[in-house]
Amino acid sequence: MHFHQNWIHYRGIKGTCHVCGQETHAGMSLKTGEYYWLHDGYKGMPDFYRSHGFKNLERLDENEFEKLMTEAKAKGVDPMPRPERGVGKPVRCVETGMVFASIQDAADHIGVQRASLSAAIKRGGTSGGYHWKLKK
């Protein structure tokens, strides 16, 4: 799995694009929480879609996503996201008490850059409207 600024990629859940026939994987928009089919090779795909009259990515129904997750697990495929980075430092949101495995996970959850949240921890300020502390 891959975390990008706006997406969580579930590379273990595969499909086929109905427009071009290329292999796709499931992804979730961190902005909307909705699931979509995403191309494995993204380069040039927005232009391809526009040239074929499509303005949006192909949406994946949440029930279908859950079904695909179950099928993947039954086949021994672990489709769950795994951060592709080192071991993070657990952080806690002071206001809510929520604990996250890493600064990046917390930043992804509230929709801010990792650097912003990290700076807030160091200076005792806020990021995303919340105060943050490293969990000891």
Which band of pLDDT confidence, cut at 50, 70 and 90, is reported for residue 1? Answer: very low
- The confidence score (pLDDT) of residue 56 equals 57
- The confidence score (pLDDT) of residue 6 equals 65
What pTM did the predictor assign? 0.48
Does position 2 have pLDDT exceeding 50, yes or no? no
Residue 9 and residue 79: Cα distance in Å, rounded? 9
**Positive or negative CA dihedral for 37, 38, 44, 47?**
positive
